[in-house]
Structure 1
Amino acid sequence: MRGARVAVLTGAGVSTDSGIPDYRGEGAPVRTPMTVQAFLASENSRKRYWAGSHLGWRSFGSARPNIGHLALAKLEAGGVVSGVVTQNVDGLHRRAGSRHVVELHGSMDRVLCLSCGQHYARQAIADRLTELNPEIDLGTTIRLAPDGDVQVDDVEAMAIPACTVCGGVLKPDVVFFGEFVPADIFKAAASLVQSAEVLLVAGSSLVVNSGMRLIEQARRRRLPIIVVNRGITKGDSRAVVKIDAGASETLTAMAEALLE
């Protein structure tokens, strides 16, 4: 990594020290994620999604960058890291100070109207949900998922806001299960890998296809691939170095060594 342009691909394991759980790590909650097909097909599914997402937003939205996020921002400022491609939707890389961030799966702090394309700040929609559903108990003990969702079963009385411009359906500006990463977003991520000399993967099991597509691009260009993750990943066989350790402490150690 020393003297090289390093592109970084991050996953949920980078954010666990910020209080956001991993999808597949030890102790990860067993859950059935919302698919885009279910979200679009049924108002009851949209009610269930927004009820759980609203309950989780207070914790998810208040999460703070950890030392791993800060280390990557320092590595970028120091000229080592050329940019970060993240599979996370928590916005923590931006909040840590990373400037060149490609959010493959979007970000939970934005909401999109599926009819007219109007964007909203997530907090504005959260305020509307609270006004429409004052009985929602935000003091309830919850178990947060990596996408900020919480399992809620009784949603019959849930009221969900519509777009104030056209009355259309609102959806967080994230890629749901069953959706494709937008072509322009993936192109930006691929461009970052194409211009790099090393690919560093941190905190990802690489189960999601979009991440593995970037790994394959790096492999075809014969870039050295470094994987930092607790447990096995789908990219281990392609890595020249595999570090089985936590992302936060490893990224911090890298920043200390490379910026000394």
Structure 2
Amino acid sequence: MRTRPTLTWTVTAAPVPATTSLDELARAVTGRGVVVLSGAGLSTESGIPDYRGASGTLRRHTPMTYQEFAGSEAARRRYWARSHLGWRTVARAEPNDGHRAVTELRARGYLSGVITQNVDGLHQAAGTPGVVELHGSLDRVVCLDCGRTTSREALDDQLRAANPGFAGVAARVNPDGDVELADEVVREFQLVACAGCSGRLKPDVVFFGENVPPPRVRRCYRLVEAASAMLVLGSSLAVMSGLRFVRSAARAGKPVLIVNQGETRGDPHAAVRVDLPLGRALTELANRLP
């Protein structure tokens, strides 16, 4: 039976300096049992923008909140008109070298689980099993009134039928599949209701201002509790939904390893901070491990 090497780390309130060396990261991951927490930075090489990077869309774009979406038909019309275009870009995206490296590391036993903040399904498309979708998935649609869940592809067909002359042009795609779209185009867009109860349809993703379902949160905590270390990939950890798991790992004395281009809110808890493009770093990491 393979045993894990004992790792000793010193984590202080001051962030450790960022490095471009993978030596410490490789040493930690060799110990196996590492849980991944991935963010939008992992998918940028697939053509999906992030929110908070150097060119992040939050610099120009305020995402829809749950309260606005649930309480306003005009807001839902705006979201679905824009998302009807943007989802096609997300649906066409392919896994990149970073996703494929995560799949390889999982298959070789170095990773014990993968939690993703992304809603693009690219981990699964790359073949990674058992991914916990912390913020849900754009592939599904849920009715806010009866809870019925259907596929986004089916809704796309319905929206096309309801809007045969829809000819909007997306100026820019955002990480949640939303796009910039002229107001006059939005006003002409026809919504589609739930086939079961005629209720309000929403993508099965966690909007800003919405809580992650408690059973999903508990599952993530169990993965962190069972892990030997946490590996954060491409996340600024700016929101508590992901940062809480980093803090939990740090409190338990588990090494927090961060690979991200730029600073993150979790840096004070990190034992290792690698500042490199994700595809390059993860591919090299997989190649270096025995």
AA in 1 matched with 2:70: L
Corresponding position of 1:199: 230
AA in 1 matched with 2:251: R
The residue matched to 1:173 in structure 2 has which SS? strand
**Pair 11,39 (structure 1): closer, same or farther in 2 beyond 3 Å:** same
Corresponding position of 1:70: 100
Q: 1:92 aligns with which of 97, 122, 131?
A: 122
CA drift of 1:141 comes to 4.5
TM-score by length of 2: 0.87
Q: Is the 8 A contact 2:32 2:112 kept in 1?
A: no
The residue matched to 2:113 in structure 1 has which SS? strand
Corresponding position of 2:180: 151
The residue matched to 1:199 in structure 2 has which SS? strand
CA deviations on 1:176-205 (whole Å, 9 max, x unpaired) are 011011101111111111100010001000
The residue matched to 1:200 in structure 2 has which SS? strand
**Deviating 4+ runs (over 3 angstroms):** none
Return the alpha-carbon distance in structure 1 between the equivalents of residues 42 and 78 of structure 2. Answer: 28
Corresponding position of 1:18: 46
Residues 115-126 of structure 1: pairs in structure 2 closer than 5 A: 115-126=145-156
Q: Is the 8 A contact 1:7 1:193 kept in 2?
A: yes
Corresponding position of 1:112: 142
CA deviations on 1:222-260 (whole Å, 9 max, x unpaired) are 0011100001111111111100111111111111112x4
Return the alpha-carbon distance in structure 2 between the equivalents of residues 28 and 3 of structure 1. Answer: 34
Q: Is the 8 A contact 1:82 1:100 kept in 2?
A: no
AA in 2 matched with 1:254: L
CA drift of 1:116 comes to 1.6
Matched, 1:9 2:37: yes
Flag structure 2 segments of 5+ consecutive residues without an equivalent.
1-28
Return the alpha-carbon distance in structure 2 between the equivalents of residues 135 and 230 of structure 1. Answer: 42
CA deviations on 1:106-140 (whole Å, 9 max, x unpaired) are 000000111221111101101111111122226x2
CA drift of 1:22 comes to 0.9
Residues 1-260 of structure 1: pairs in structure 2 closer than 5 A: 1-29=29-57, 30-137=60-167, 140-152=169-181, 153-154=183-184, 155-258=186-289, 260=290
CA drift of 1:4 comes to 2.2
**More deviation, 148-157/19-28:** 148-157
Report the identity percentage: 51
TM-score by length of 1: 0.97
Aligned residue pairs: how many?
258
Flag structure 1 segments of 5+ consecutive residues without an equivalent.
none
